Amino acid sequence: MSESTVIATRPTPGHPRPYDFPAFERATLANGLQVITAQMPGRPLVTASLILRNGAADDAPDVAGATSLASRAISEGTERYDAVALVEATERLGAGLHADAGWDASTVSIEVPVARLEPALDLLAEVAAHPTFPVREVERLREERLNDLLQARAEPRRRVDEAFIGTIYKPSSPYHQPSGGLAGTVGTLDADRLARAWRRGFDPRRMTLILAGDLDGAGGGGPVAMAERLLGGWVLAPGATAIGGSVSSESAINSLVIKLLDRPGSVQTEIRVGHVGVPRRIEQFAALSVMSAILGGLFNSRLNMKLREEKGYTYGASAGFDPRRGAGPFSARVAVNTEVTVPAVVELLAELDRIRQEPVTAAELAAARDFLVGVFPLRFETPGPVVGALGGIVVHDLPDNELATYRPRIEAVSAADVQAVAEARIHPDRAAVVMVGDAARIVGELEAAAIGSVEVIREDEAAEPGA
Amino acid sequence: MVNPSVPFTDERLPNGLRLIIAEDHLAPVVAVNIWYAVGSKNEVPGKTGFAHLFEHVMFQGSRNVKKAEHIALVQAAGGTINGTTWLDRTNYFETLPSNQLELALWLEADRMGTLLDALSQENLDNQREVVKNEKRSSYDNRPYGSWSEKLQAHLYPEGHPYHHPTIGSMADLDAASLEDVSAFFRTYYAPNNAVLAVVGDVDPAVVRTWADRYFGGIPANPAIPPVGDMTLPPTLGAEIRETVTDQVPLPRIYFGFRAPVVGDRRLDALEVAMQILAGGKGSRLDRRLVRDDQIAQDVVAFVLGFIGGGSIAAGWATLKPGVALERVEAAYLEELDRLTREVVTDDELARAKALIETEELGALSRVEERADRLAMNATLFDDPALIDTMLGRYLSVTAEQIRAVAAEVFRKDNRLVLTYLPASGSTEEAAE
């Protein structure tokens, strides 16, 4: 076989075609409900999302998980349809109808060919405004959630995530447990509690409908007229409250904590290292994004290069923040083969320290900024992610030009900004190291490494923290 | 709704590289997707997992690209990137801002032509450990994690190229040598064994110039060995049953069937059947087992399409605590059996098609998906134009075709039943 000849010189990029986030318009319905429309030519599949500013963080501690379960229950029966009739009506339109509760908001979304937007919006409106929470369906969903929690205990990833948040947040914080709640409260959720959780957010003046796609083909006088017809008559539900205030996110730890949950026979150890992080609305959001990319976001991030490409300890290591209305968690995440658990923990902690101690290199800074800026148009190729990004603006009360200014703000981040935000927001000296693995094969070496005192939790004592 | 059509050009470089270009200026992005006609089916006994390990080595550098630099350059260009290995293929893809296309072509050509210049024992050993950890993460350390390996092993007989899993075995991964990597590269990573699809905001004339410049100097391999015999009887011949004890809280029953190959019209009908059986809350299995009888926590049914000898139709039901296995198995199989006896209703068929139509429309709106499908159809069927026929094929499926294919596939003598039971003491104490 003859030899290959290839061109040695790496090509330089061409001139970039300008890209702008799709322009969007706001309208207000007679009842105060906001409508945001983003016209995206050539995208006949439209996404529409109704946002209620009522999330899992707004659940009282004794009904944790209610909003999450309520968002699943609203499509299980409404005044006009039972669950099966509703799903059949949706499917006849070729539409996908999804309801979901996050920490800060609940959303009801549809994806549908634009020609069938109006009947699909009608179903969305029915689900959002007229759920009946049938007892039989609520009980089934509650039982499914309890079984799902049971399954989570066998899945090392879910088990470590649950133990991690249970370790870093005080029990008074909603973030102490998963947004879907744990068995202790989920078991008490009934139709009445779900109805109350849902109605709590039903205030048209605090709701927003966001649509993106090739809306010119929508007919019916356009999406705003359609929304006026279908959503404009909504009034404040009894029990709706002006929620959305501060969220308790107090840390439960003030020094390094090491916790090992025993899972005999595990061939890998799932490791989480981190602590309480940041809320979405912080000044240094751009610097934080760049810093996260360098530490654990890019493929060539420090954690992945060290633990995967240098050491071969893992299929992948990452780190990042989960910014919410309150301070969501910061975590570094990795699964390693059992034998290298201790060196992996040592390397993780060392990298969390190094990003604070030394400025990042010019090459690291450029790679992270160029990635975040360059990937921006790729993120918004289709309507779904555009609606998602606009939803973020609504939920976090960000300025309308947040997306337009995103790239210049990222480009302006300096190495000093990165180091400053790392010093302020990453704290290896008061982090939790939480692991799920085969304790018998780890604990001796872990204690000998003298990283800190180790708490080992055996299978039979692993009662769930929220119970 | 109109059938979406994807205009493209289809040509070959003198060295055999197939180049497919589809122009679309809607967004300033471009997708590059290279399919190599090699997958785990090309592996020989003792060397399982090799095609996938090799995929990892492809990111370890080449003559002009350092270790891990390929991904670094694509990400710094604002791109996303990955590679996949499966039974019938290995592919590498990146999506970038359209002004960065030339970089992607240069990177792909450098490793297609000169991977071995950068190959080292250290890099191979490193990626071997990474892949072993991928196997642990994705299979060995997960509840029910062995099901897909068992499905393949039972549905394809010993000696068939689909018998073993793509991830391979730990022993075979340990045994992989530098010589194996070199031989695999020289054999399969030749331009005449590859399809390069470029989709998005591009000028086709410029793409052709660049393809010639970067790939033109890579020689063809005139002696690519054919894959082993793929033919199979249409059914298993007898029911196969296995029970596995695992660290799982809830029992789960997996079902597997041998099915027609991709490209066979009967498989299109079977795909629609799977939508009717388990495609969401309106589906038959969901309604029966989850909603009405409340005996299952979840139900799933799907097709894994392959081109050699047979595909897989499979599914599972996870039991609710305290429910008898026999009851769930019987209910699941009753629904499959009903499909073989009675034609589906017009409304069921219309709903399934409406959902498939929306799904196809969504998939084809992304340049990455279009590039993948063009390269797939060229690689597996020598016909990239099949991209425009898929939706029409689904929409033309009739109720009788569904009944007929169900009757051929969902037979007791074509059935694998794989039951996962909790190891002692790990179930049944929660929920109620």
Q: Which residue among B75, B134, B426 places its CB closest to the CB of A298?
A: B75
**In Å, how far are A157, A250, A341, B177, B374 from A435, measured between CA atoms?**
10, 22, 9, 34, 44
Nearest CA in chain B to A301: B72
Chain B residues lying within 8 Å of A18, measured CB to CB = 28
Kindly tell me if the per-residue pLDDT of B3 is higher than 70.
no
Q: Where are the domains of chain A?
A: 24-231, 257-461
End residue of a domain, out of B215, B248, B274: B215
State whether B63 and A8 contact (CB < 8 Å). Answer: yes
- Judged by a CB distance cut-off of 8 A, whether residue B346 touches chain A is no
The answer on B136 and B255 residing in a single domain is no
Q: In this structure, is residue B427 part of a structural domain?
A: no
Query: Is-contact B146 B246, C-beta < 8 A?
Result: yes
Q: In this structure, is residue B257 part of a structural domain?
A: yes
Q: In this structure, is residue B245 part of a structural domain?
A: yes
Query: B256: domain range?
Result: 240-422
What average pLDDT score do residues B260-276 get? Answer: 97
Looking at this protein, which amino acid is placed at residue B270? L
A115-127 core/surface letters (b: 16 or more CB in 10 A; e: else): ebbbbbbbbbbbb
Chains A and B form CB pairs within 8 A to the count of: 254
Chain A residues lying within 8 Å of B248, measured CB to CB = 151, 154
Q: Which residue among B143, B214, B282 places its CB closest to the CB of A155?
A: B143
The answer on B319 and B179 residing in a single domain is no
Q: Torsions phi, psi of A242, nearest 5?
A: -80, 80
The answer on B254 and B197 residing in a single domain is no
pLDDT band at A244 (very low <50, low <70, confident <90, very high): low
Kindly tell me if the per-residue pLDDT of A467 is higher than 90.
no
The answer on B192 and B44 residing in a single domain is yes
Kindly tell me if the per-residue pLDDT of B405 is higher than 70.
yes
The answer on B81 and B145 residing in a single domain is yes
What average pLDDT score do residues A11-27 get? Answer: 95
Strand, helix or coil for residue A464: coil
Q: What is the CATH number of the domain that holds B61?
A: 3.30.830.10
The answer on B271 and B179 residing in a single domain is no
Superfamily of domain A24-231: Metalloenzyme, LuxS/M16 peptidase-like (3.30.830.10)
pLDDT in tens, A45-60: 999 999 999 999 999 9
Q: In this structure, is residue B2 part of a structural domain?
A: no
The answer on B278 and B192 residing in a single domain is no
The answer on B193 and B106 residing in a single domain is yes
In angstroms, the separation between the Cα of residue B313 and the nearest Cα of chain A is: 23
What average pLDDT score do residues A368-395 get? Answer: 96
The answer on B96 and B179 residing in a single domain is yes
Q: In this structure, is residue B233 part of a structural domain?
A: no
Kindly tell me if the per-residue pLDDT of A98 is higher than 90.
yes
DSSP string, A158-176: HHHHHHHHHHHB-TTSGGG
pLDDT in tens, A275-316: 999 999 999 999 999 999 999 999 999 999 999 999 999 999
Q: In this structure, is residue B231 part of a structural domain?
A: no
State whether B126 and A7 contact (CB < 8 Å). Answer: no
Chain A residues lying within 8 Å of B365, measured CB to CB = 43, 45, 381-382
Give the per-residue pLDDT at A2: 67
Q: Which residue among B73, B137, B431 places its CB closest to the CB of A147?
A: B431
Query: Is-contact B166 B85, C-beta < 8 A?
Result: yes
Chain B residues lying within 8 Å of A299, measured CB to CB = 68, 71-72, 75, 81
Chain A residues lying within 8 Å of B194, measured CB to CB = none
What average pLDDT score do residues B41-59 get? Answer: 96
Measured from the Cβ of residue A296, the count of other Cβ atoms closer than 10 Å reads 26
Percent of chain A with pLDDT over 70: 97
Give the per-residue pLDDT at B432: 34
Residue B418's region, left for phi above 0, alpha for psi from -120 to 50, else beta, is beta
State whether A13 and B351 contact (CB < 8 Å). Answer: no
pLDDT band at A246 (very low <50, low <70, confident <90, very high): confident
Domain count, chain B: 2
Q: In this structure, is residue B137 part of a structural domain?
A: yes
- Per CATH, the architecture of A257-461 is what? 2-Layer Sandwich (3.30)
pLDDT in tens, A168-189: 999 999 999 999 999 999 999 9
Kindly tell me if the per-residue pLDDT of A196 is higher than 50.
yes
Q: In this structure, is residue B222 part of a structural domain?
A: no
